[in-house]
Structure 1
Amino acid sequence: MKINWGTSIVLAFVGFISFILYFVITMNVDKAYDHELVTEDYYGVELAYQNDIDRLNNAKTLKENISYRKSPEGLVVYFPKDLDYKNITGKVMLYRPSSKKLDFETPINLEGSELLISDKRLVDGRWDLRIEWTYQKEDYLFKEEIHL
């Protein structure tokens, strides 16, 4: 049986459309490709962005900024040693861009200049670390993309 040009073009279009539909359906149904927004109130967060810029600039004026490292127990966050840790308040937020269910935040309760975030809550992969903290009525912000 010989296939003419018209039939070949129709078969090519049907094959291409089937190929595209397969990927559209797969991306909508498969949970592995489910990516959510990082925050619910996206526009409200963007309007308050100038406050974040001011807090980031305050953090740049410090002699030593926040640092962190991965340990077997979890993520250890180090606050500046020249500050009195008893006067540091705030919260640590960890956002997982690929899954909102893994996001969490914890208050800063220091018994020294470091804070341990337990490894039980941290899944390997990319996290957005955001630390909002206050010292002597001055607000600071530390944010960084980390990979565990």
Structure 2
Amino acid sequence: MQMNWGKGLITGMAIFMLFILTLVIKMFNQPVDDYDREYYEKGLAYDSTYNKEKQVVTDKATPALSVANDYVQLQFVAPANVQLLFTRPSDRKMDVIFTLDTDKYNRVKIPLNGLTAGQWLLTIDWESYKKQYLYKQQITIP
């Protein structure tokens, strides 16, 4: 059986158009770009963030972090008002914020129920004796 040029061109064009259509459909089904919509505001607040991170080093106030099966514990060097931000790199919708005060032993325990296992970025923002601190650490929740 012999195919003529006309049928071959039409078949080739149809396959190419299906390929392009498939790519277009796949593109529209991708999630929205995950760029930072607050980039400008964060840029303006960079000096404040930098000073808080520098204060941790200056005062040697890095909190001790331990992750257990059902909680995360932070040990601070002094009493503090703490804000914890758990950021999930793979899904912004899973981010969680906790606002707590340390107990009489300068500890904070955060239960892990409701947090998915895997990689998280923990941002610890706290105030102690009228000084502001900021510390970030990658953690893995079992």
TM-aligned CA deviation for residue 53 of structure 1: 0.8
Letter in 2 for 1:123: T
What is the rounded CA distance, in whole Å, between the counterparts of 1:11 and 1:118 in structure 2? 57
Choose between structure 1 and 2: higher helix proportion: 1
Percent of aligned pairs sharing the same letter = 20
Deviations 1:15-54, CA, capped at 9 Å, x for gaps: 3203302312432xxxxx567556x644212210111111
Residue in 1 that maps onto 2:95: 103
**Equivalent-residue separation in structure 1 for 2:91 and 2:33 (angstroms):** 7
User: Letter of the aligned partner of 1:137 in structure 2?
Assistant: K
Partner Cα distance (2:99, 2:72) in 1: 15
Larger radius of gyration: 2
Q: Which amino acid aligns with 2:95?
A: D
Question: Which residues of structure 2 form unaligned runs of 5+?
Answer: none
TM-score, normalised by the number of residues in structure 2: 0.77
Alignment pair present for 1:11 and 2:14: yes
Q: Please give the per-residue CA displacement for 1:41-74, whole angstroms capped at 9, x wherever unaligned.
A: 4421221011111111111123351232220221
User: Unmatched 5+ residue regions in structure 1?
Assistant: 28-32
Contact 2:82 2:102 in 1 (8 A): no
Q: Which runs of 4+ in 1 moved over 4 A?
A: 33-38
Q: Secondary structure at the match of 1:123?
A: coil
Note closer, same or farther for the CA distance 1:7–1:118 as it changes in structure 2 (3 Å cut).
Answer: same
- Cα deviation, 1:56-109, whole Å, max 9, x if unaligned, reads 1111123351232220221112223xxx32xx2231122234444432222231
Q: 1:58 — aligned with what?
A: 55
> CA 1:2–1:50 in structure 2 vs 1: closer, same or farther (change >3 Å)?
same
The equivalent residue for 1:132 is 125
| CA–CA distance in structure 2, aligned partners of residues 64 and 20 of structure 1 | 52
Normalised TM-score (structure 1): 0.74
- 3-state secondary structure, aligned to 2:29: helix
2:87 pairs with 1:92: no
